[in-house]
Amino acid sequence: MNRFFIRPVLAGLLAAMPVLAADQPVKVFILAGQSNMEGKAPDTLFDHQAEDAKTKDIFAHLRKEGKWIVRDDVFIKYLERKGPLTIGYGSPGRTGAELEFGTMMGDHFEEPVILVKAAWGGHSLYKLFRSPSAGFPEEMMQKELQQAQERVTKENEKNQTNNPLPSMEEIKKEYGSSYRAMMAEVREVRENCGALFPELKGRATELAGFVWFQGWNDQYGAENEYASNLNHFIKDVRTDLGAPALPMVIAAMGQNGSKPAEGAMLTVQEAQLSMNEVPEFNGNVHAFRTDVLVDQSAEAMYPRWKENQDWPRTGGDHPYHYLGSAIWFTRIGHGMGEAMLELLKSAK
């Protein structure tokens, strides 16, 4: 064979060979929001319902030999906690949508998956998660400043102190603080992947998707600008992460459950779902309803939960936390996973 023919043939064969998963970047998904993204279903409820004949089929794929599966291909970083994905990565002693979502992503990808959860209870999109291009709400900030100064003035008079009055710069610092903290979480994981997860040492990372689960606090005076703030948020997240087409899933607030949403809740819900109609988000943003996934057993029992001994085996919190229902949070996680897989398919 002509020696000049060997190299092109060899190069062609190598190009045709499939690239092994070990050579591919780890897939990173960001899960952001407030308390419901933290996860509010008690682990004890998960344990019970995973064994109960009436509900165990819902959780069977998350268990093996009577125990919760600890994934060796999906990892999670949630504030100070990190490790292989399993039950218990919600609020202390609780689990959220991350368990089902992460399981679906792990099953889908040959490459390892990392979930970066940036969630803090009570944090609004209007203020704490406010993204840069949304700007500052000057009128509201002036009111905040006036109230803060009046409060300090009264305290000074009462306590005979001379504490300095708050400034506008101090008010401004609060705006976007959670947005910046979220970005810092993502940066830390990507820069220190091998140190955080020794199993992934030497592996590169690749942003694969973003899930947003938030809305409650914006009902109280900021509902009418939620659509604008969310539009800015989506664009800014992509710009700041250098991922202009990052697939983004929005789990629309649905604490109304089986009852129609009303008032400010409906306004926020509709604002979230309206992202599906933004032309530039077509095929790369998907908002879905969470109210239709309601755990009707927990919903029916809640009005008399204090008197019902079965409540700890059915629910675990109030309606604003989706009743602390393991079933509802698992269904929401599945909805997130389905929406993300649909976007990933469209991206290809």
What is the 3-class SS of 113-162, one letter each residue?
EEEEEEECCCCCCCCCCCCHHHCCCHHHHHHHHHHHHHHHHHHHHHHCCC
What does DSSP say about strands 205-213 and 248-252: parallel, antiparallel, or unpaired? parallel
List domains and CATH numbers for the chain: 22-130+175-347 (3.40.50.1110), 137-174 (no CATH)
Q: Say if residue 265's pLDDT is above 50.
A: yes
In this predicted model, what pLDDT tens digit does every residue of 67-78 receive, in sequence order? 999 999 999 999
Q: Say if residue 9's pLDDT is above 50.
A: no
Report how far residue 310's alpha carbon sits from residue 263's, in angstroms, rounded to the nearest whole number.
Answer: 32
Percentage of the chain with pLDDT > 90? 91
Count of helix runs (H) and strand runs (E) in the chain = 13, 11
Q: Say if residue 93's pLDDT is above 80.
A: yes
Report how far residue 206's alpha carbon sits from residue 189's, in angstroms, rounded to the nearest whole number.
Answer: 11
pLDDT band for position 348 (cuts 50, 70, 90): confident
Q: At what angle do helices 98-108 and 326-347 cross, to 10 degrees?
A: 40
Q: Name the token pair of 331.
A: 């269904």
State phi, psi for 140 to the nearest 5 degrees: -65, -40
**Predicted TM-score of the model (pTM):** 0.91
CB atoms near residue 288 (< 10 Å): 20
Dihedral of CA atoms 214, 220, 224, 230 in degrees, nearest 10, equals: -20
Contacts of 90 (CB under 8 A, 6+ apart): 38, 39, 40, 41, 96, 98
Report how far residue 78's alpha carbon sits from residue 118's, in angstroms, rounded to the nearest whole number.
Answer: 7
Amino acid at the residue 68:
W
pLDDT band for position 2 (cuts 50, 70, 90): very low
CB atoms near residue 121 (< 10 Å): 15
Q: Say if residue 206's pLDDT is above 80.
A: yes
Q: How far is CA 69 from CA 44, 61, 329, in A?
A: 16, 9, 18
Rounded average pLDDT over 93-97 = 98
Q: How buried is 256 (Cβ within 10 angstroms: 0-12 exposed, 13-18 middle, 19+ buried)? A: middle
CB atoms near residue 52 (< 10 Å): 13
pLDDT band for position 246 (cuts 50, 70, 90): very high
Report the pLDDT value the prediction gives residue 21, as an integer from 0 to 100: 64
Tell me which residue has tokens 């998963």: 21
In this predicted model, what pLDDT tens digit does every residue of 313-346 receive, in sequence order? 999 999 999 999 999 999 999 999 999 999 999 8
